[in-house]
Amino acid sequence: MPWSSNDYPDAMKNLDKEVREKAIEVANSLLEDGYDEGRAIPIAIDEAEKIGKASNDEMYQLINQNDKWAIKKKGADRASKTFDTKEEALEYGDEQLAKKNIQLKIYRKDGSLERTKKYTGK
C-alpha cells in the first residue's frame, strides 16, 4: 500500500513535514523493491533523517523536458545539461555530480518523484 502525505504510518507522525515526506518517498520505494512494511518504515525514517541533516547540500533535479532528460540545479531557469536518455543523465550524475556534495532528485517521465540520490563529494 503506497503512502502519501495524508496517509502514512503512525511512526512518521512526529517527524518534521519535510523529513516525513522524504520518509514516505523512501518507504514507498522500499515497498516497490519488495521490503515488508515492518522493515521499510524504520529504514525509511532513518534515511530521511540523514537526508534532512544534509541541508547544506546543493539540490539538483533530473527531469523530463520535451522528451529529453535534463539535469537542473533547483531554482535555476535553465538545465545544466540535457540528455537523450535517463540512463545517460544518471551516468553523468555518477561521473560529474559525484565530485560535489549534492542531492539529485530523480523524477519519472510523468513528473512524480522516483527517488533521491545523495553524492558526498570526493
For the stretch 50-105, pLDDT in tens is 876 655 567 889 999 989 999 998 888 899 899 999 999 999 988 888 888 788 89
What burial letters (b/e) apply to 33-57, b meaning 16+ CB within 10 Å?
eeeeeeebbeebbebbeebbeeeeb
